[in-house]
């Protein structure tokens, strides 16, 4: 019929490769109408491999890895499991939605039944946790983030368990505390809320039916907030942590050119305001230690068509450049033109308003 096959660019994704070494790698992923294709580089013409979606199932969130969040799993009809890790919550939700749509189309239009959370907390069909999460994060009417001092540590951008239950009841989302606890547990198990501190972490891992704790001692935070914890330390450590105090404005994977070897590698970037910093990480590892940071106050960011010292076949399209106040140049590439536009707009805003 001449109909163009469905192709959706998911972008750079961290995937688990190998059953023996269990190594996580960054690959370029494209969603076709009947398979997930992954490439070693964005510029490759043919996929390195593919995952057939006919008869496949999707599990999100996937709790198989205790030290990794935002993981989801695609299981093929032959029971082969493939694991993916997103860089932030909204990214995972979007990918899962698109992959589920492709699977549903292959099944002849059948609707997927909503799955319960990992602790078998069965929520009513009309409960939309994504919408509830957005309401909770509202700066004026949502759950207020606090600085909490506990056990010689300072927890930033967090809130207590009983505060969440109080908010759910006051906003009419729950009729009583047991019902609020069920909703909060659903938010926790779906990855919208995360435990902070020993009390809430112990509660989440003990295997009890209700893992969310309705207690003043239990601390939690929003999955995409600017949460961080600091202990009492030297003045130098305090200055270092100042970079992480700002709220997260935008995050995701970009291709970055190295300053020495001029090679291109995928990095996860987290943009914060006040102070205006963008930190970058190895996306296959955690976010405890950034590979580097860029102070954006007074910087200039513009779209560029080419990069010095870069071969055309290595990187092409959706490029942009950050020039700091110290005149250090950073060259980056987004997955799409719209993504480049969004990054430039966000960085420009932060560079003008942040410290």
Is residue 119 situated within a structural domain?
no
- pLDDT at position 58 is 92
Q: Who has greater pLDDT, 159 or 118?
A: 159
What CATH number should be reported for the domain holding residue 86? 2.30.29.30
Same domain for 252 and 224 = no
Residue 304 counted as domain residue:
yes
Q: Same domain for 251 and 348?
A: yes
Mean pLDDT of 294-299: 90
Determine, yes or no, domain membership for 114.
no
Please tell me whether residue 101 adopts helix, strand or coil conformation: helix
Q: Give me the pLDDT at residue 303, please.
A: 93
Residues 223 and 242 in one domain: no
Fill in the DSSP letter of residue 175: S
Q: Do 202 and 294 share a domain, yes or no?
A: no
Are 338 and 247 within one domain? yes
- Helix (H) or strand (E) holding 58, with range, is strand 57-59
User: Residue 259: left if φ>0, alpha if ψ -120 to 50, beta else—which one?
Assistant: alpha
Residue 3 lies in a domain: no
Residue 190 has pLDDT above 80, yes or no: no
pLDDT for 341 equals: 93
Task: Give the residue from 211, 229, 247 where a domain finishes.
Answer: 229
pLDDT of residue 205: 60
Residue that is last in its domain, among 229, 249, 276: 229
Give per-residue pLDDT as tens, 259-285: 777 788 899 999 988 788 999 998 888
**pLDDT for 2-14, tens place per residue?**
434 446 667 788 8
Give domain status of residue 124, yes or no. no
Summarised one tens digit per residue, pLDDT across range 227-260 is 666 654 444 444 456 777 778 888 889 999 887 7
User: How many separate domains does the chain show?
Assistant: 3
Buried b or exposed e, range 290-305, using 16+ CB within 10 angstroms:
beeebbbbebebeeee
Indicate whether 2 belongs to any domain.
no
| Boundary-marking domain end, from 194, 209, 229 | 229
Q: Which domain holds residue 13?
A: 9-108
Q: Can you give the pTM of this predicted structure?
A: 0.57
Q: Are residues 133 and 25 in the same domain?
A: no
What CATH number corresponds to the domain at position 173?
Answer: 1.10.10.10
Reported as a single tens digit per residue, the pLDDT across 197-208 is: 788 877 766 544
89 and 143 belong to one structural domain: no
Looking at the fold, whether 36 and 97 belong to one and the same domain comes out as: yes
Residue at 326 is within a domain: yes
Residue 109: pLDDT band by 50, 70, 90 thresholds?
low
Q: What are phi and psi of 351, to 5 degrees?
A: -65, -25
* Domain shared by 258 and 150, yes or no: no
Count how many Cα atoms sit within 13 Å of the Cα of residue 138 in the half-sphere of its side chain: 11
Do 17 and 49 lie in a common domain? yes
In a domain, 123, yes or no: no
């Amino acid at each position: 019929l001449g109909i163009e096959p469905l192709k959706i660019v998911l972008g750079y994704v961290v995937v688990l490769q190998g059953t023996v070494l269990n190594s996580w790698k960054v690959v370029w992923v494209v969603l076709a109408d009947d398979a997930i294709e992954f490439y070693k580089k964005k510029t490759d013409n043919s996929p390195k491999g593919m995952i057939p979606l006919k008869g496949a199932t999707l599990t999100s969130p996937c709790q198989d890895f205790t030290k990794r969040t935002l993981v989801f799993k695609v299981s093929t009809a032959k029971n082969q499991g493939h694991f993916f890790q997103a860089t932030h919550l909204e990214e995972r939700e979007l990918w899962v939605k698109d992959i589920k749509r492709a699977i549903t189309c292959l099944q002849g239009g059948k609707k997927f039944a909503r799955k319960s959370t990992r602790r078998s907390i069965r929520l009513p069909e009309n409960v939309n946790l994504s919408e509830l999460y957005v309401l909770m994060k509202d700066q004026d009417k949502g759950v207020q983030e606090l600085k909490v001092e506990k056990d010689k540590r300072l927890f930033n951008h967090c809130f207590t368990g009983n505060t969440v239950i109080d908010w759910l009841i006051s906003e009419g989302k729950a009729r009583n505390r047991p019902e609020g606890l069920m909703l909060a547990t659903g938010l926790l198990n779906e990855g919208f809320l995360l435990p902070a501190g020993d009390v809430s972490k112990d509660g989440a891992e003990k295997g009890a039916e209700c893992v969310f704790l309705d207690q003043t001692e239990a601390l939690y935070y929003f999955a995409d907030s600017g949460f961080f914890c600091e202990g009492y330390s030297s003045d130098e450590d305090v200055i270092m942590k100042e970079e992480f105090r700002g709220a997260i404005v935008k995050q995701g994977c970009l291709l970055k050119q190295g300053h020495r070897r001029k090679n291109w590698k995928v990095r996860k970037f987290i943009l914060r305001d006040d102070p205006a910093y963008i930190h970058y990480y190895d996306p296959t590892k955690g976010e405890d230690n950034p590979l580097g940071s860029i102070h954006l106050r007074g910087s200039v960011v513009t779209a560029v068509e080419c990069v010095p010292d870069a071969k055309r076949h290595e990187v092409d399209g959706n490029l942009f450049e950050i020039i700091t106040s110290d005149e250090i140049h950073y060259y980056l590439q987004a997955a799409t033109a719209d993504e480049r536009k969004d990054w430039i707009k966000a960085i420009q805003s932060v560079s003008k308003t942040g410290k």
